[in-house]
Structure 1
């Protein structure tokens, strides 16, 4: 089997959310590939140095270089490491993770061309990114969805009498956690026993600000901080509607997991979301920042048992298409 160096942000040990490097990597190891990783350094400069040094150190041992490629500051990691790989003649595979990568393509077309036009393959985990990149003339595009091990996700049929809202994401401005609190504020007026739980680590100061907003409205929101996957899946058994409030998105794993668990989903209709979720079939979708529409959607699910059950069943069926037992063949086709 092949030897792979996986470049990404392996930071859960520092309190950050688990990313693909810590989920896809072990799954590939389970298929017999040998994996090396960079980097778990918390400091950004040290992380970049570790990525560069690992590429140099392992250049004669690896067959492929996998690079998690984001749209914001971490874009520069992908740029530098990919150009080093070109210099060293290593086959590299950017995996498109950033929900606003189409914006990056428009803002920095020459830099993007340096990365993507010289890649062995470019992996798009959503039809959204696949479509945008192909329209921009990027070649060597392959669709491989984010994956779940469905054996970890038991489908739970939920009875919704009072809305028990669950939000799972890092606390960052682009994920708009304020909207969840605003939705809960109005829902609580009609459903006095309603609740909101917000799961996720701090990222850019939004956790403290969101707590302040909840305190201002005198709302009892359960802020758990970062939880392990096992813990938040166990926690999800106490909730019955999943809300996703993000401004930008690609194919969020937390939403995929909610689908697998049988949680009816209400989400903003941004980025890759409409490629992942079908409005009125696998979720209810609302416009970005439209708090009133999300409130109405939550009420609709609460008051319509058949709708809630249909959304849960349909989204579970969709989630099963992301199971590793199906997705792994796509990876094996590229890497073997």
Structure 2
């Protein structure tokens, strides 16, 4: 049996994380239990511990979605339990802030990762960082089901922009609003659609800025949508922007690539390992409104660039289809569960 511990929070209005898509795919081959769907972090940690203790005699391996911020402590506590009960565990690295975590908690990081059965990273950025620390890391990218994403070849682009992330300061939604503020001065019909659940007060800040800058006719905020709802809506837009300050290998960006968007993204964390600048997207420094606008205007004025990036982005996304990625999981899990 496999125990998979992570944040299963979509029923509480949060964006689904990898555990919610990976668990059912692994269940086609393995006996797997996943935890936890408790909204409160302390209760979620207790639920993970309970799940571990309940099934410990049946467990062959434990998968742990490993984040670098507050949820880091889930990994730390579960790693100690696995070590004490001599059960192999595999951290799956999702925290783009792990370089900072190693600085603040070096002993705890070493305890977790020196005792891991394997370490999996969906990001070449974190794989490179961890290997620089002396760890062996297996790269298994985040995946999508490519057939769920209808490819729209973009051969030209207007100032019609899509942003899809949680409203949280990490993802810097206010920068998107600042970009729109400047674009409407030159392109009065410019539109920005922002899709995602509320995670902190940045949604209120965005709404206040919209009123302050008189963007009510240009800014559309939908809240959280299902995958089908937002991918259907995406056909009305030409350019996708990713304004985040920290990132790893975001599924929303992979999805945008699958849909054929030319993407303008910050070049933080794992993004440059996912997007090749000027080939399947355009990269800019974080917190740089001017560079975002410059790259957006480059797309608006260069149909050939839009067409090339749209095609190349889809090709990149096709490499991340489950049917391509699943064998990497089988390779590390089959020996652990003795298939």
Which TM-score band applies after superposition, normalised by the shorter structure?
over 0.9
* Cα distance between partner residues in 2 of 1:161 and 1:314: 16
The answer to whether structure 1 residue 128 and structure 2 residue 94 are counterparts is: no
Q: Report if aligned partners of 2:127, 2:138 keep a CA contact under 8 Å in 1.
A: yes
Equivalent positions of 1:207-226 (< 5 A) are 207-220=203-216, 221-226=219-224
For the aligned residue pairs, the C-alpha RMSD in angstroms reads 1.0
Q: Is the 8 A contact 1:166 1:242 kept in 2?
A: yes
Query: Take 2:226 and 2:7, find their aligned partners in 1: how far apart are those partners?
Result: 17
**Partner of 1:89 in structure 2?**
86
Aligned length: 332
Counterpart CA distance in 1 for 2:51 and 2:162 is: 39
Contact persistence 1:256–1:319 (CA under 8 A): yes
> What does residue 302 of structure 2 align with?
304
Deviation at 1:26, TM superposition (A): 1.3
**1:57-68 equivalences in 2 (<5 Å):** 57-68=54-65
Using structure 2 for the length normalisation, give the TM-score. 0.96
Name the residue aligned to 1:146: 142
The answer to whether the 8 A contact 1:199-1:223 is kept is: yes
CA offset at residue 162 of structure 1? 2.6
Q: 1:326 and 2:295 equivalent? A: no
**Where do 5+ consecutive residues of structure 2 fail to align?**
335-339
Counterpart mapping for 1:51-130 below 5 A:
51-130=48-127
Partner of 1:120, secondary structure, is coil
How big is each residue's C-alpha offset from its partner over 1:68-125, in whole Å with a ceiling of 9 and x where there is no partner?
A: 0011100011110111111111111000001111211222111001111101100011
Deviation at 1:159, TM superposition (A): 5.1
Separation in 1 of the partners of 2:126 and 2:40? 29
Q: Report the Cα distance in structure 2 between the residues aligned to 1:7 and 1:328, rounded to whole angstroms.
A: 19
- TM-score for the superposition, normalised by structure 1: 0.97
Q: Name the CA distance, whole Å, in 2 between partners of 1:152 and 1:61.
A: 35
2:314 pairs with one of 313, 316, 321: 316
Deviations 1:229-270 (A, max 9, x none): 111111111111000001111011100000010011000111
Residue 138 of structure 1: how far off its partner (Å)? 2.0
In structure 1, the residue matched to 2:40 is: 43
* SS across alignment from 1:60: helix
> Which secondary structure does the structure 1 equivalent of 2:278 belong to?
coil
In structure 1, list runs of 5 or more residues that go unmatched. Answer: none
Does residue 158 of structure 1 match 2:123?
no
Q: d(CA) in 1 for partners of 2:25 and 2:279?
A: 30
